[in-house]
Structure 1
Amino acid sequence: MCDTKFTDVSGKNIVLLTPRRDEMGITQKDMARNLGISFITVNRALNGTGYVSEELKQRIFDYAQEHNYVPHKASQVLVRNTSKHISLFSSSLPEYFWNDIGQGVEIAAQQIRPFNYEVTYHRIPEHDSETYLRLLTEDIEKGTDAIALVNQRKYDMPAIFELIQKANIPFVTFNTDAPQSERLCYIGTDYSAGGRLAADFIGRALQLSEKRKVLVIQCNEEDVKVTDSPDINNMRLEGFASVMETQYPQITCKVEYISTKLQPGYKDDQILDVLKKYQDKVQAIYLIPAFNTDFLSALKSLPPQNAITILHDLDSSAVLDLETRMLSAVVYQSPVLQGYYTVKALEQILEEKNPEKIPDIEIVHTLVLAENSNLIRSQNALYFNI
């Protein structure tokens, strides 16, 4: 288990400058209430202390000018008397994916720390429901105010959801949804859409090819699942198959299942054996599960072939293999944004007196090629100034 905790190292309350009411104007709290947005958003816009969209920022500025808002030169110090605690829970593998989630969590945590928010992100070892429930219980007993979690098949999710709901703590789901639960929001992607995007890329690429055969590598998780939480790999396959059947019926697809366990240090040759079996017999290869490292290593151990290759999610090796053309494309779901908006959604919920459901936040897939592989860095710089 790898925990990252973001707290104020001084242990003291953080103070913020906020203007007092001017006789001819209004306060920031008045503006927040009248505009239907949080006080923090108004404060950030007027003080330039965090991200606010340009459209919303302009709306706040216009309202402030229209209602004679004038900050007092000797601004008072605002101290939040109590801290707000946010807890996030996910699995730990693949490590590169949850590292990116953690980066987004940290960026958002830094932005809300001045408002006396503390954010804790737990990454639980695979299949370790006991540790999961213990850490969740500890956070609840310490007084966490809101929770975010991933609805994953490898944990006892009914017991986890029951514990949160009995404690009457507002929570959201991210990465994998649980719409039947009492969650207030889902932050993540449509996995079927990711499969459809992969199918459309392959279909277009093979339109002029004389041979049109595709190998799809899928993972059978029936022997390792703990609960019937969503099977994201199956969602991807369903989306892929739907596009192939309706838009590219001339393309033949063969699905090969592997049973590789996603565990630290686990090695086998199942992917390599599948690739050997279909070497020079297919014109495209689509990897659905998160076995990128094994897949790319297997490709490099075989003689070069002219097959299109596509998989999900970026790690450092995938970026390099895009540039060398070992890999043709990556379906990317921006885990940094997922982590960031998960914390921001919980902040928004906690700023309301009576937490209610808020609109889901869909992270739209991006198709990353060698030509736009620098997109990710540019995207992060755009959103977060990093």
Structure 2
Amino acid sequence: MANRKRWNIGVLLLLIIFAYVLVQFYLSTERIRGLVTPLEASGKEHAKLQIALISQELDNPFWRSVEQGALRAAGQYGMELQYMGPFRINAEEQMKLLEKAIASKMDGIILQGIGTEQDKALIEKANKLGIPVITVDTDEPGSKRLAYVGTNNAYAGQEMGRLIANSDKTEPSGVIGVLVGSKEAANQRLRLEGFQSVIAAKKGLTIAEVRASNISRLQAAQQAEQMLKDHPEITYMVGFSSLDGIGMAEAVARVKPGGVTIFAFDDLEDTIAAIKKKQIEASIVQQPSQMGYEAMSLLNQYFQGEAVSSQQYTPISVVTEKEVAAP
């Protein structure tokens, strides 16, 4: 009897696992089909110009802000915006969405430069078909894109270096742990290079290690914690993607509370809250909404036959406890 009961339970568990795998396979199939199926714009006549905005990650707060700026401009210029992106950061899916936008004969495309030859080839394909492409957040140098709109990433990295260099009234000294969202992403590389150029000129400052967080709060916390364990001499931590600051703050609270000064990137709600609590010293803030607005404005200029600047940098600012405490 006991053996039969165990056998029945085992069969039930196998059925549950099989059902779960079947459901996941179905969802994956539908997702792939969605990437391959042309957009609604295909084969239809539209009174308004159709613009595709391809984000790095669909529900990422930064990209939702880019979308809001683009929507504001779309309303102003009488265009229609179609916002899309992978559910999780995935460069291959971004390129499939670019292929999809080209096949759908969109009137214009706004996207993040991915930094691959395939991405450049697809942008060139769009260009040959008369579809202007604007890169935002990350440029795609050497491609046929119409223009880049976004942060001057090398300058932003230098500004981060100056924040540390000026954080002490005396000659700055200390050891720095650095997180980047990705070591492959062009915007992250440029920020890191700009940062390193400033730190290299300061004799008292050294960089212990650079690790990647993969734009994940959990991985940022894990990588920061391991860095602190491997390099207990670290006195500063710097993060160059939006979730790094929060992850670093969590790691410092566990491993070295009060012993590390943290500098972050962007102004997510949790980052601002951590600045208020003095867990993060300061954060460099971009203007994603302005990026979306300006990208649409450049497309409008292009459609009007006006000359378009190939680079349009959006401003950055530094947020400290003083700014977040202001009424």
Same fold (TM over 0.5): yes
After TM superposition, the structure 1 = structure 2 runs for residues 1-386 of structure 1, keeping only pairs within 5 Å, are: 82-92=47-57, 95-112=60-77, 115=78, 117-124=79-86, 125-129=88-92, 131-153=93-115, 156-208=118-170, 212-219=173-180, 221=182, 225=184, 231-246=186-201, 248-249=202-203, 251-262=204-215, 269-279=222-232, 281-290=233-242, 291-352=244-305, 356-358=307-309, 360-373=311-324
Residue 281 of structure 2 aligns with an amino acid whose one-letter code is S
Measured after TM superposition, the shift of residue 183 of structure 1 is 2.0
Q: Residue type of the partner of 1:364?
A: P
Q: Residues 264 and 325 of structure 1: is their aligned pair in 2 closer, same or farther, counting only changes over 3 Å?
A: closer
In structure 2, distance between residues paired with 1:371 and 1:219: 26
- Offset, 1:310: 0.3
Task: Report the residue type matching 1:232 in the other structure.
Answer: N
Whether contact under 8 Å (2:124, 2:143) holds in the other structure is: no
Shift of 1:343: 1.5
Judge conservation of contact 2:298–2:308 (CA < 8 Å) in 1: no
SS at match of 2:82: strand
- Counterpart residue type for residue 157 of structure 1: D
CA displacement 1:264-290 (0-9 Å, x = unmatched): 9868722212124444x3432222344
Instruction: Give a deviation string over 1:269-324, Cα, whole Å, max 9, x none.
Output: 22212124444x34322223443332222233345224321021121100001111
Give the whole-Å Cα distance in 2 for the aligned partners of 1:86 and 1:234.
29
Could you tell me how far 1:233 is from its partner in structure 2? 2.1
Which amino acid is the alignment partner of residue 341 of structure 1? E
Amino acid aligned to 2:65:
D
What CA distance in whole angstroms lies between the structure 2 residues aligned with 1:368 and 1:160? 38
Q: Which residue does 2:8 correspond to in 1?
A: none
* Local SS of the residue matching 1:205: coil
Cα 1:373/1:163, change in 2 over 3 Å:
farther
CA distance in 2, matches of 1:372, 1:268: 26
**Which protein has the bigger helix share?**
2
Gaps of 5+ in 1: 8-12, 14-80, 379-386
What residue ranges of structure 2 are gaps of 5+ in the alignment?
Answer: 1-30
Please give the secondary structure, in 1, of the residue aligned with 2:143: coil
Task: Tell me the equivalent position of 1:45.
Answer: none
Q: 1:366 offset after TM fit, Å?
A: 0.8
CA contact (8 A) 1:215 1:255 kept: yes
**Could you tell me how far 1:191 is from its partner in structure 2?**
1.0
TM-score normalized by structure 2?
A: 0.75
- Aligned to 1:321, the other structure's residue is in SS state helix
Contact 1:86 1:346 in 2 (8 A): no
154-163 or 230-239: which moved more? 154-163
Once the two structures are superposed, what CA deviation does each residue of 1:97-126 show, in whole Å capped at 9, x if it has no partner? 2122222222223333xx3x1111222343
Q: Deviations over 1:68-90 (max 9, x none)?
A: xxxxxxxxxxxxx9321111212
Deviation at 1:196, TM superposition (A): 1.0
Q: For each residue in 1:178-230, what CA deviation from the matched residue of structure 2 results, as whole angstroms up to 9, or x when unmatched?
A: 23222222111111111111111111112327x711313144956xx5xxxx6
The alignment partner of 2:170 has SS state of: coil
What corresponds to 2:27 in structure 1?
none
The Cα of 1:237 is off from its aligned counterpart by 2.0
In the alignment, residue 284 of structure 1 is paired with which amino acid? Y
* TM-score, reference length from structure 1: 0.64
> Are residues 201 and 94 of structure 1, via their aligned partners in 2, closer, same or farther at CA, if it must alter by over 3 Å?
farther
Q: Please tell me the root mean square deviation across aligned C-alpha atoms, in Å.
A: 3.3
What is the aligned partner in structure 1 of residue 24 from structure 2? none
Measured at CA, do residues 214 and 371 of structure 1 come closer, stay the same or move farther in structure 2, by a change above 3 Å?
same
Q: Hey, what's the Cα distance between the residues in 2 that align with 1:93 and 1:329?
A: 27
Question: What's the CA shift for 1:133?
Answer: 4.3
1:334-383: CA deviation from partner (whole Å, max 9, x where unpaired): 1121112111211221122xx653352211221111111378xx9xxxxx
1:151: how far off?
A: 0.8
